[in-house]
Structure 1
């Protein structure tokens, strides 16, 4: 981005960043809590950290992580080793000032000026035997596919320890721009080759062949295939979430999440639902601020009623539970079947709705499990008694 664009970006948090940062802020404290208790340490990498804080005072991704690290250190004596990488010298200087505040609180905050690929090996070495979370949020093209897969492969083990997860920004703006570049006779081949590196091959070009019409959803097809290939190569559960500026707009990027643990899937879905609720609320506030004389906002009309979504989700998820019982013929724990439990409502409703679904199934006489006690994700659903 240009310097002018940088200034605009860091003036205040844009709507796509609201969802991204709320999701990050909901998820990483639980990642640390779930994985860090064994060794008392967690390693975190923000590969495109920016300035750390907006001029408005709102925290950027780097400060969100440092706040979590400070809280975990004070409350649980859990130490985070945080790596923050940024290429722009002026952003590094501002980031250092933010980091100094948290270093004074005991947080291990390491700011690096340069490219994330040059720091990645050092991060992996520091994280040897420890949980690791990678947040990769470039303004444009990110880490080459092969490099990301290589990093995940180095972290793979038969018992899935230590846990490794990532959340990355896959730019849909870049997909559309480079798709046009690939189709044009005046296209710059080096630009397409750079995207080949990000995607792990030339396969994406097939969606933008100059001898065929472009499908309306070509960009979404590329995002879906990228996530599928990432899941296949890493052996991880991968979820891809479109993020737009407003309802009905094309996504500006997909947030791609990877984990090897059902618990990770469960917590991510809950965090995503909570972040989406905040996104809708921020959108409505933005509209009211821009047009204070309007009788009602567009958002208030088009936003799905949260209670109606929950009311529809409960019986649908109860039916999902019943299907799992019929197939298995034995009791199961909710978190062991995260995606099937939530079904179409994954990332749409929060964790407590799963408990309500168990209670709904119990009220229908289809399970003796009452949905009472234990953490929701640890609830056990038993089949109905014979006879």
Structure 2
């Protein structure tokens, strides 16, 4: 039976789909420029039915739309995997209707069981894999197999993972339970590449009575450990992002993104920032429904401007301090220090505004034109 997860989009789903929407085009354009025939493979490992029951776009619908939009420039080959038989039948009908003229393949079963076939199908071309399970991830070894697939020059592999903190909390409850299910704990061991996560959790939340702050610290420790291990195994950089249905709610999941190329990491940061803007819009629309501010575009714009001004000020201060301490430097070499607490929230447009502030103040002599990430900013 199809899971209720696919009935409608919540804010957390809006965010991950907004990130996909923003990221797929630059990924395909950049990586497909050196791929024969402009071929680029996109795998959705937990595809669902194609759409939500309310008719809104699911990840397969989004990816087919991107494939169609880019068809004159890149050949996006979409591979969809779905384990639930009823959802698979709906996905089949959906791709028959919406995938006409596009390169689409669908696979029934678990993504891990189809992995060898998928890697064979995508051999020799750039590959982006989206793993968005409703529950536990596939085992660590399978993710490592994706990231470590044989590739030639200019044939990158990138992965975006939904690491469910809801599933993590449920399973971690066994660590402090008198009725612990060892088989359940071992399933998480497989996801995390060993039982290290158990001590990582208990170091932060050692008892059943642990408060929300301790549990959130435990979640973050496990997710960071997971991302670090994958990063080390694949010799890749990574992003993690905590995703919630409301800012004050507990985490629904963490996104873990891995890329071996700096450009991929910078582009993902931009996509995350743009996705968060759409996430805030969805929350604003929900929370203002039925109030005086319902549909008030100016109110939302005012809230966004306040955030933007705050971020630009912080980046301005960070740049000023870094110039004072180190003299000239390349932005990409001090990327995290430049963004500071705005990392993942702000983007290049905020960096450019901060740079212009320092130019006006006479703190730098370097103009803010062009691609700022590889650019050197110098003191005046």
TM-score bracket for this pair, using the shorter chain length: 0.7 to 0.9
> Match for residue 259 of structure 2?
259
State how 1:1-387 maps to structure 2 within 5 Å.
Answer: 3=1, 6=3, 8-39=4-35, 40-74=38-72, 76=73, 78-104=74-100, 106-155=101-150, 161-206=154-199, 207-208=201-202, 212=207, 214=210, 215-216=214-215, 217-289=217-289, 292=290, 294-295=291-292, 305-322=303-320, 332=330, 334-335=331-332, 337-372=334-369, 374-377=370-373, 380-384=375-379
1:219 match: secondary structure: helix
- Alpha-carbon distance in 1 for matches of 2:206, 2:124: 50
- Alpha-carbon distance in 2 for matches of 1:369, 1:187: 60
Q: What is the TM-score of this pair, normalised by structure 2? A: 0.88
- Alpha-carbon distance in 1 for matches of 2:21, 2:91: 18
How far apart are 1:82 and its partner, in Å?
1.1
How far apart are 1:325 and its partner, in Å?
5.3
Q: What is the TM-score of this pair, normalised by structure 1? A: 0.86
- Residues 81-133 of structure 1, C-alpha deviation per residue, up to 9 Å, x if partnerless? 111000111111111122123432x2111111111112222222233332110
> Conserved in 1, the CA contact under 8 Å of 2:245 and 2:252?
yes
> Conserved in 2, the CA contact under 8 Å of 1:102 and 1:109?
no
How far apart are 1:288 and its partner, in Å?
3.5
- Alpha-carbon distance in 1 for matches of 2:282, 2:206: 43
> Conserved in 1, the CA contact under 8 Å of 2:236 and 2:258?
yes
2:79 match: secondary structure: strand
How far apart are 1:222 and its partner, in Å?
1.5
Instruction: Please say which of residues 206-215 and 94-103 is displaced more in the overlay.
Output: 206-215
- Alpha-carbon distance in 2 for matches of 1:314, 1:123: 44
Q: How many residue pairs were aligned?
A: 369
- Alpha-carbon distance in 2 for matches of 1:41, 1:324: 42
Instruction: Please say which of residues 358-367 and 260-269 is displaced more in the overlay.
Output: 358-367
- Residues 112-155 of structure 1, C-alpha deviation per residue, up to 9 Å, x if partnerless? 11111122222222333321101000001111112212321235
- Alpha-carbon distance in 2 for matches of 1:145, 1:67: 30
1:117 match: secondary structure: coil
- Alpha-carbon distance in 1 for matches of 2:45, 2:322: 40
Gaps of 5+ in 2: none
Change over 3 Å in CA distance of 1:178–1:358 after alignment to 2: same
> Conserved in 2, the CA contact under 8 Å of 1:196 and 1:202?
yes
- Alpha-carbon distance in 1 for matches of 2:171, 2:301: 32
Change over 3 Å in CA distance of 1:337–1:319 after alignment to 2: same
Change over 3 Å in CA distance of 1:302–1:230 after alignment to 2: farther
How far apart are 1:37 and its partner, in Å?
1.4
How far apart are 1:342 and its partner, in Å?
2.2
- Residues 203-224 of structure 1, C-alpha deviation per residue, up to 9 Å, x if partnerless? 1112248975644432222222
Change over 3 Å in CA distance of 1:227–1:301 after alignment to 2: farther
How far apart are 1:193 and its partner, in Å?
0.7
1:55 match: secondary structure: coil
- Residues 324-374 of structure 1, C-alpha deviation per residue, up to 9 Å, x if partnerless? 656765563x456543332221221232112222222222323322113x3
Gaps of 5+ in 1: none
1:12 match: secondary structure: coil
- Alpha-carbon distance in 2 for matches of 1:119, 1:360: 53
- Alpha-carbon distance in 1 for matches of 2:332, 2:69: 27
- Alpha-carbon distance in 1 for matches of 2:137, 2:171: 14
2:71 match: secondary structure: helix
2:70 match: secondary structure: helix
How far apart are 1:185 and its partner, in Å?
2.4
